[in-house]
Amino acid sequence: MARGGTEAFPDLGEHCDLEDCKQLDFLPFTCNGCQKVFCLEHRTFKAHSCPKAEQHSRVVVVCEVCSMSIEKKAGEEEKIILERHKDSGSCDPIKKMKPRCPVKRCKEALTFSNKSTCKICNKSICLRHRFPSEHECNLRKPQVLMATRNGLNCRDKKNNSLSSPPSIKAC
């Protein structure tokens, strides 16, 4: 007898292996731990109480000093992992400090999604202060390189043999 399907299509889909569910799922999931088949609702280790969940899941501990995540292996205690990490020399409190908006009294952390660079002063600031009037922009105008005329008008140049005749003004 086939594990799933309907009378018309006996090989299509499988029933969820959870005792209380047995739902016919056309896109079933096979658990990496216990190798049983589950529906969308029961596919996670926690949802079907997988006995081999700890062997296949990844658990991390976050260091409070440097915000680095350290993978926890089965049977290890968090305190031992954090002590080993601090003793290894890779724990640096400077890594935890995020760049902040330089505007007075603004405590916004600058991330890639809320950071803007001022085109006038080149400061990195938060989106709330992105306009020059909102932050202490020194309002230096960008230097525009313009062609120099050496004090002469365009039509008064020396060697003006290829110039066009003066335009006629309309009344």
pLDDT digit string, tens, across residues 94-103 = 776 778 898 8
Q: Looking at the predicted structure, is the pLDDT value of residue 87 above 90?
A: no
36: phi then psi, degrees, rounded to nearest 5: -95, 165
Q: Which top CATH class is 12-56?
A: few secondary structures
Contacts of 120 (CB under 8 A, 6+ apart): 132, 137, 138, 139, 140, 141, 142
Name the residue among 147, 145, 166 with its Cα closest to residue 155. Answer: 166
Mean pLDDT over 22-32 rounds to: 90
**Where would I find the beta strands (DSSP E) of 6-150?**
14-15, 24-25, 29-30, 37-38, 59-62, 69-72, 115-117, 124-126
Domain boundaries, the chain: 12-56, 59-96, 98-141
Amino acid, single-letter form, for residue 21 = C
pLDDT digit string, tens, across residues 129-160 = 988 888 887 754 444 444 445 555 555 555 54
pLDDT at 143: 45
Contacts of 21 (CB under 8 A, 6+ apart): 39, 41, 42
